[in-house]
Structure 1
Amino acid sequence: MAVASPAGRRRGPLRPLVVTLVAGTAATLLAVSSATAGQAAPKPTVKQLKKELAALQKESDKLITDYYNGRINHQKAEKAEKSAREKLAAAQEVYDRESTQLRAMAVTQYMRGGQEGLTLLGNEHDPTALMSKLALSQYLVDQQDARLRGYAQVRDDHKQARDEAKTRADELAALVDDLGKRKEKAEKLIDQIKDKIDQLYQAPGVRRSDGTWVPQLPGGSDNITPRMRLVKMLVKERFAVPFGIGCYRTIQDGGEHPLGRACDFMLSRGGSLPSAAEVERGNEIAAWAIKNSKRLGIMYIIYRQRIWHARTGTWRTMSDRGGTTANHFDHPHISVY
């Protein structure tokens, strides 16, 4: 299940997230193992999971380094492409100006072409005047030749700048595509690490043969059960949940909140509809809870006017309760046994 997306952006840098999760695992592993004493060892064993996690961590370090190097190359390519575009703009300006002057010269030459010979013949008995006319004509020819040679250089410079700009643009596009693939590969591995870390946790308490769990008493300053506290911690670490998490409340509504066995993971504030990115975050939280329901003792999930129950393993639509929050459009709700 992919977690990082056009919302990656919302989960922070890759490496710090991995380090935080691994550190949290080391700190709580002993407590979790003690809580599950007397039960069958998880499959695979904690030792195997830790070994696999270490291997994944090593591989992720290589991928993150590769991704970082790709970002550096991308930044260099961006600068080169920008410089090429600026050179092309300058060359285009010169090219346009010289083209205009060249066209004006051609028009002038065309207009003068039929008169110049007659003018010179009219001075055939005045050698001084004739030499003066010939000298002026040669000067104009030399000026035109210089203009043509200069224009040819401008034309060549413009073509070179245009070709370079296209080359740099193509290089940048290729690097953007390559960087996207590197990022996607790294994110997939990060997800594997998160999944492996999840497997290191087992819900505390006693599980019955039918898959249900013996109830627990709430405790601590947050007034929730150890099972609910574990689920809350894992969701918070994996998905961030920037709009807050609400768990215990005193209102007796027939649900698990007053029993310390439920939490709401908010996707917006003030009863407003969440953004598309937050709706997707809610989908990811719900999918994660279903995937880990047996191991973590999750009883049911409510999200977007639907409920999933561990007994059936399927979603069903709920009746309209009359509001965004009441219908759980702005948060997934998770209850544990």
Structure 2
Amino acid sequence: MSTRRGGHLSGRHPLIVLLTAVTLLLGVGAVPAHAAPDEGGSKKLRDALESTAKGHIEAKNKLDASKKRQKKLSGELKTMEERLGGLTQQVSEVAAHSYRMGRLTAPAMLLGADTPDAFLDRVASLDVMAQRDGKRIRDMVDARDEANEAKRKLDAEVREQQKQVAVMANKKKQAERALAAVSTGSSGGFSGGSSSSARPAPRNSNGSWPGESCSVNDPTPANGCITPRTLNMLQQTQAAGYKRYASCFRSGGSGEHPKGRACDFSAATNGFEDRTATGGDKSYGDNLAAWQVRNADRLGILYVIWYRQIWHPGTGWRAYSGSGSPAADHTNHVHTSMY
């Protein structure tokens, strides 16, 4: 019995060795490193970061649009004022001439005609003079009204800009309050990385971001859906040279991952390793984070978290601490959330 059992085990041993070798060769043992990181953080914090970043971006878009309208209106007002100045001068000259010479009355002009033909000529001349002078006055009044309307619109744009600046300031305060529990204040952020500029994601005609759903296939191994804007961010990040392992969609939980509006970019070449990045891996994450922040407005990025720091459009870089693990502190991956 023991011989059969030993023979049976002996017969299986080469197969076990072979399967083990194939497993190592194919990298199956590396699969756990590719699992999505447990980033920690409360739902309240993630919701606050999302809402304040969106509020800041929307206010900035409105501010930028208002500045464009103001620039256009300023040009129109300058043209109108120049035209009004010319028309006012013409009307003033007519008035001054009438004051000096006395207004030529119709009876006096007509009585001076000594023939029927001359009478008709003077009737026609009176009509031309009346139309000319009347048109000058009407044009002057219209130009003055248009200039006043342009000034009114300019004043409205100034008030709109003041309103949006106040909104942005309020969103900044809200974001700072939300981050207070996990932040110790401002930080240096990151620099360097690719100098390339991202291809901008499509915007509405007024400069705002269109609403998008989780509607396109996630090309990362996460195997889910993401928004078209998230896909563009992912593709542009990879096109800039950041091609290490990434994962976007994640089912369940709060935040942007389940909505297809976030991606995690591994610092290590082999996936999400449970260790703090150092050396070349740290430099890779630094450069990636810096590049994304420089292109945040083009891509529609809400915020970026990397290496115990978070970039928010309203606050800039701030210190950020999780629960102490590489995933929660984001020291093994860059997290990018999208509008």
**TM-based fold match above 0.5:** no
TM-score w.r.t. the length of structure 2 is 0.38
TM-score w.r.t. the length of structure 1 is 0.39
Structure of greater relative contact order (alpha carbons < 8 Å, 6+ residues apart): 2
